[in-house]
Copies of this chain bind each other. A is one copy, B any other.
Amino acid sequence: MRILFLSAIALLALSTGAAANDQAEFKLQQSQIDTAQALIDTALQSPLAFDIVESLTTEVGPRLGGSEAEKRARDWAEDLGDQLSFDKVSVEEFSMPYWVRGTMKIALTSPYEQELYGTALGGSGKSRGDLNAEVAYFRSLDDLKAVSDGELKGKIAFVDGDVLVKSQTGAGYALPNNRRRIGWQHAERGEAKALVIRSVGSDLHRFPHTGMMSKRTEGKAWASIPVIAISNPDADQLRRLHELGKPMSIALKSTAAWKGNVNSGNVVLDLIGREKPEEIVLIGGHLDSWDLGTGAIDDGAGVAITAAAAELIAQLPQRPRRTIRVVMFGAEEVGLLGARAYAEKHADALKNHVVATESDFGADTIWQFVSNVNEAANPAIDAIAKLLVPLGIVQGGKDVPGGGPDIIPLAAKGVPTVRLNQNGMDYFDLHHTPDDTLDKIDPEKLKQNVAAYAVFAYLAAELDVEFRTPSKEEE
């Protein structure tokens, strides 16, 4: 591990008097405003987050949920927690089913030989025998859904689609992602030998985008056929050949398989609150990554941003009132397994989780702050939002549920959420590809992220504000 510590974080030593908050017209104390500003000033100069993500991606590398590499990532995180100023570091292990990609080759064999750039989707089955079959082309998932049972016997289904449309919010992702999530269920119903899909990605590079498929809710849970995503340029080639009326065949070989149960784990790093240690402001990211890249933007960045933000707060003269907890979730990519394990393990304490948020949308600049908290706390949210404006962050909706993928199980149990939305314009260029590597992170943008997380976490922990909706606490 190679973390460069700031020689001294020159934060103002501030007196933090008793709260005098009127929720109707929320007013921050000057000392709180000054502290927030000092956090921003420090964050914008600190290389700490980049050093953390550089260390994780270099010294641990790819770290698939459940793998030995993910175990090394937990060791790395514990070590990091000890080097930084956290008061308590815990590893909370849990058991999970383990899927491995194995090796994969896919090639067009007719009208001519051409290697395709593809990868198995999470949960894919392996190929059996020498798989080389005619392609049944589908322009969209809807077209595949329309096949009759058994109609694809002996064939490989290819579901095309379009290059994902880029946007700041990533709004174009969810719908096309259904071909990744449930395409296999229709291919199996049609009795196809395999399913190949156009990657769900916005780039025109020769990288496939992996990602987990959705389990069936009844019957055999996972695919028994190989399910492969190919790159956008490869899918373009298949589309052009199809449009020329050329019959196509594809050969593929995949050793993807489930390997029984293994351990994963969440790493929990606490800055214990000085007045209400049991009340928790939860921030975090996920420690696991897909195995193709080194998980820099997904989600080494999130781990680094939130750990660095907490470290800056730890350098203040005193801890905030509430506990700030950084959770580095395990096994997010393979089904939010760490998030579910956390919610289960901490079920009784969730009523004390006052607000939660996760950084898991890359490493680009944060542009928007949204929230979903107790209505009475919205004036405090507005006050926090105002402090984020100099970072170029606008306030969005105050009724926007979410908080990040790993926050879903917490939000379902009534934990209030906010989200510091990153610019997602280029996120799906890299998402789940081999190209998710350290060089894709702009250290300057990472600093802005740290500043925003530090300000939010500090104020959420320092202010005497009830973010929970009373009715939700009853659940």
On A, residues with C-beta under 8 Å from B are 2, 54, 57-62, 69, 72, 103, 105, 108, 111-115, 117, 204-207, 232-233, 236-237, 240-241, 244, 246, 292-294, 433-435, 437-440
**Looking at the complex, which one of B72, B112, B438 makes contact with A233 (CB distance below 8 Å)?**
B438
Most buried by B among A58, A114, A207, A292: A58
Cα distance, A233 to B77, chains bound together (Å): 24
- Residues of B contacting A114 with CB < 8 Å? 61-62, 294
Assess whether A294 is in contact with B205, with CB atoms less than 8 Å apart.
no
Cα distance, A90 to B172, chains bound together (Å): 50
Q: How many copies, total?
A: 2
Assess whether A61 is in contact with B204, with CB atoms less than 8 Å apart.
no
Assess whether A233 is in contact with B439, with CB atoms less than 8 Å apart.
yes
Cα distance, A232 to B433, chains bound together (Å): 15
Assess whether A206 is in contact with B54, with CB atoms less than 8 Å apart.
no
Nearest Cβ on chain B to A79's Cβ, whole angstroms = 14
Assess whether A434 is in contact with B117, with CB atoms less than 8 Å apart.
yes
User: 9 smallest A-B Cβ distances: which pairs?
Assistant: A233-B437, A206-B434, A61-B114, A58-B240, A204-B439, A206-B435, A233-B439, A61-B112, A205-B435
Asked if A112 meets B435 with Cβ closer than 8 Å, knowing A2-B244, A294-B237, A440-B204, the reply is: no
- Residues of B contacting A246 with CB < 8 Å? 59
A232 (CB) vs chain B CBs: closest residue: B439
- Residues of B contacting A113 with CB < 8 Å? 61, 69
Assess whether A233 is in contact with B60, with CB atoms less than 8 Å apart.
no
A69 (CB) vs chain B CBs: closest residue: B112
Cα distance, A204 to B2, chains bound together (Å): 23
Assess whether B112 is in contact with A236, with CB atoms less than 8 Å apart.
no
**Looking at the complex, which one of B2, B61, B111, B206 makes contact with A293 (CB distance below 8 Å)?**
B206
